[in-house]
Amino acid sequence: MCVEPAVIYLRYAKRHLCRAHLIEDIEQRVLSTVENKKLISTGDRIAVALSGGKDSTALLILLCRLLPALKDVSLVAITIDEGITSYREDTVHSAEDLTRRLGIEHHCISFTEQFGDPLDDLLKGRESQACSICGILRKKALNIGAHRVGATKLATGHNLDDEAQSVLMNVLRGDLPRLVRNSGNDSQSAFIQRIKPLAYISEKEIATYLILNDAWKNLPECPYTRYALRREVRTMLTTLEYRYPGTMLRLMESKRKIEYYCAGSMVCEPIRGCRECGDPCSGDICQVCLLRRSLGL
């Protein structure tokens, strides 16, 4: 595309891109995803789930740069401090530094504040369930934070690798309802809509984008990931993507086709109020309250 030296080779597209063209390409693709999928509307207040890691950092930077193209849209960042020793402290500081540099309003919510104990204490003797327990409680904390700041949408940093891994995990589990579920409309407007502007940007592209923008930080990995099925699926899918470039995009296309063929035939559970806390859920008791019982909270 130009005479500048390439900084990346995109195997699935067989394209070499220089610094300027890669940055332009990623920003244009994110904007196209936002516009084509109607993720953001005029007047939206977007709460960005900012963990401080690479994906959420790239998401906040990209949305800040795209703001001129999004009419009357404001951003606010929410960081969840689960309470994971030797991990979360560094990422929280990274989030604070980023929002200060970008001039973005920032709110931090801790598990201790919301659930009485940090995650490390809640997981004693239950380490193998870490990702399930953390996921349920973090989702609850993000919803609390989004409501607290008056957000109309909640943006998360899920990238192409994350989304393809989720598709494969749901296939391996035989979980068709979860495979076709859309976080933007599956709650019948009972929750704040979640959006994923980076869903078609690979982890490799995001890492390179941050390096080129002098925003890359070497941060520790969550110590509980060793218990997760996702870690095994990630290794498998990364190998397949290298051997067969475009595998992740084809998985996403397969999910889209399955959603299309299942449209109208999948019966969703009606949304009702949890009989213990009143939060909307599909059963009599929400996942958070069931978890509270099992943890003795």
What whole-number distance in Å separates Cα of residue 141 and Cα of residue 193?
15
Third-level CATH fold of 19-266: Rossmann fold (3.40.50)
Report the 10 Å Cβ neighbour count for 226: 11
What tens-digit pLDDT sequence spans the chain (297 residues)? 899 999 999 999 999 999 999 999 999 999 999 999 999 999 999 999 999 999 999 999 999 999 998 889 999 999 999 999 989 999 999 999 999 999 999 999 999 999 999 999 999 988 988 999 999 999 999 999 999 999 999 999 999 999 999 999 988 888 887 787 765 544 445 578 999 999 999 999 999 999 999 999 888 888 888 877 788 899 999 999 999 999 999 999 999 998 888 876 666 667 778 888 888 887 889 999 999 888 887
Task: Determine how β-strand 105-110 pairs with β-strand 74-81.
Answer: parallel
> Given this model, what pLDDT does residue 186 score?
46
> Given this model, what pLDDT does residue 282 score?
75
Task: Determine how β-strand 280-281 pairs with β-strand 272-273.
Answer: antiparallel
End-to-end distance of the chain based on CA atoms, in angstroms? 59
> Given this model, what pLDDT does residue 174 score?
86
What whole-number distance in Å separates Cα of residue 87 and Cα of residue 124?
17
Sorted by where each begins, the domain ranges of the chain are 19-266, 271-297
pTM for this model (two decimals): 0.91
- Give the residue from 28, 27, 7 showing the smallest Cα distance to 16: 7
Q: Which two tokens stand for residue 162?
A: 């994350």
Helix (H) or strand (E) holding 147: helix 130-148
- Give the residue from 149, 72, 70, 55 showing the smallest Cα distance to 108: 149
- 183 half-sphere exposure, CB direction, 13 A CA radius: 17
3-state SS, residue 234: helix
What whole-number distance in Å separates Cα of residue 290 and Cα of residue 276?
10
